[in-house]
Amino acid sequence: MIPDPATRGAGRHDTRRIPWPDQEAILMHITLLSPFSGRAVPLSSVPDPVFAGSVLGDGLAVDPCVGELRAPCDGVVVAPHASGHALTVRSPEGMELLMHIGIETVSLHGAGFSLLVADGENVRAGQCLVRFDLAAIRPRVPSLVSMMLVANGDAFAVESVTRDGNVAFGESVLTAASLR
105 compared with 15, residue with greater pLDDT:
105
Contact 180, 24 (CB under 8 A): no
Q: Are 105 and 160 in contact (CB under 8 A)?
A: no
In the chain, the amino acid numbered 28 is M
Query: What tens digit of pLDDT does each residue of 2-35 get?
Result: 333 333 343 455 544 444 445 555 688 999 999 9
pLDDT digits (tens, 9 = 90+) for 42-64: 999 999 999 988 889 999 999 99
Averaged pLDDT of the chain:
88
The highest-level CATH class for domain 5-178 is mainly beta
Q: Is 81 a catalytic residue?
A: no
- The residue extents of the domains of the chain are 5-178
Task: Give the model's pLDDT for residue 119.
Answer: 97
pLDDT attached to residue 52: 86
Mean pLDDT confidence for 75-97 = 96
- In whole angstroms, what is the distance from residue 52 CA to residue 49 CA? 5
- What is the predicted pLDDT for the residue at 15? 46
Is the pLDDT at 116 greater than 90, yes or no?
Answer: yes
Marked catalytic residue, from 13, 29, 81, 100: 100
Q: How many DSSP H helices and E strands does the chain contain? A: 2, 15
- Mean predicted confidence (pLDDT) in 111-139: 98
- pLDDT score for 25: 59
